[in-house]
Chains A and B, each alone.
Chain A
């Protein structure tokens, strides 16, 4: 019986062991440590999902909650946690230049802290893992030493640090009012946080954790960073890191602040994100920044989805988030060699037929063409909004639909350019085999999801039911009080 907390610990351990393999007898181990550890984490999490009776809680170091630190393991946590090692494996920086060891080490650090973020059951731990992920991502942004990356990283660091200060103030307010940071304990006390002070605390936490989740007011770093860094790192940040930050906000929303006002706040931020992101993406003239702005718009949709009350919100939110994880990671992988102005990519389809075809597939899914999963994700969000049609939700519906039209305009503009007659003067670079393989794997996931829509739906229903069950959460963490496994 392996402890599921190993999934967070192993990559952290690997991150510190990896630099030791630069010299000496451990040298041949260097390139393989990372992938092996990540595969082991994926196996541990998969075993936990299939073998144990979820949900259950792990008390680290045998200190019983609410005093000790807990990991809470349910389907929602495991789904997001499992996405971390799998996505990181596909996006693994496997180059062999001298700086590669550092980059791999930081990638492992990011993977470990993101897994911890998915499993953590108290705000203290969430804060620590979040900061760890943030530091790892600053390192990854400046990893290949391009000049614009330094400025982008500095701005990212400043916005992120500002966010953590605001988030810390939010945590201080919560602690002042309740005297605990354990999420299960807080959810029993959620009535005490239903006043303006509690709302302020929630707003501050959303600002704090929203920096990585590309939430509306604190997303100024996104286009600069994704434009300046290597596109594999951009895929990791846009695809993976943002989703784990969203998961943290959702956990806090469901467990601690299950009020209408907090949902409305998330809804408004989501609407603004969609509007700003899609309009700016339409203006963008190169592929990386277009994808960056479009990812802000997509995360706006994720926020709108999670603002729906009850099970419907979780189902819609998880679908949109996972779909965006797959699609945006793949699109950034394809943008690795095509990171330039759109008009200079005329005739890209003739140099890399597969690359262009994959780009079309992911674009269509992002737009929501019916057989592809993107359609179902948007359908669930719009259906949920229509079901409880308050004026604000109708506005959200209109914004998402208008956003889809704009999305269509800019994505199809790229597709048309790809399939235009190639310009004799400009040579479009072909795709690297590794990137094509990664994007192909993501395409396989997408198409499998499109075929397996029925079993996936049933799985999601169970997942959502357990995720919104706050009584179950409290009972699992506080009631059993079993000593650490």
Chain B
């Protein structure tokens, strides 16, 4: 008859056995995979290593935030892809969250017509695959026609099958990017202070616009206006800000799809706010708007933020549909690099590491947001 101690010791031993077996198993798999890869590479006579990153690519792509040239090195081109992915992902996170909150609130509204319309929207856009929506929307957009048939909005903005031309400040791309970065930094600083959400937003928007205007006034070339308005010249518009149609299709389709998802998350969160609190607000004579901003949203946020963070990560990953519509996101650049350079393993590894890093950063941010919300409770 074994004593309890012996049994416990036995169980412990078994646990150690299982765990070491798992470790040995994973290491073996790893070793087998690596040795196979090595021998396959030699057998197929393929070169490996990261030397190709220093070579020029020789090809061009549809969209870049920073200057580009066909002689750029692979490392630089991949970095452009990374920037594009982060850029589109960030914009989509902002737009989907914004529209998601509006539609989610409408779905929770008392008014049946608003609820119905929001429901129709959610049911349509949530139940069709994102990539199909993107491809469909892209096909519709490019059929808008060339620059000469562009739809003019008050003669300062134009929409055509090539993209959207908007009036902008008369500054170079580098200055523009530094301004955006400065604005983001400003936003982060504001987040760290104790300023309330709505006032913070106001300060951030006004501050950013003001700084941009002042900078534009200082750096503008002598004799030119502060604003640059697109003008049709030859085959394309010149001046202003050019948003290629691929970028528009990406942002629009991800926004349509993602905001339907976030609307559901928001509705779920709002639903969980105890009725009594809302009624208390009504008894105090608060308007609907203040009940929403001061009671419902702050209370709902705590249950909204964790799934919202997952949705944000999804947005980042969703940028990989760019390849289906010719938008040069990181995945597209990686795939093209693979077929042009043949360095499959190295490029896929870089791609995966980058996505892990981006998503880890988002997860950290949501955790931080979550704890901040929780602290406020006390």
A binds B: no
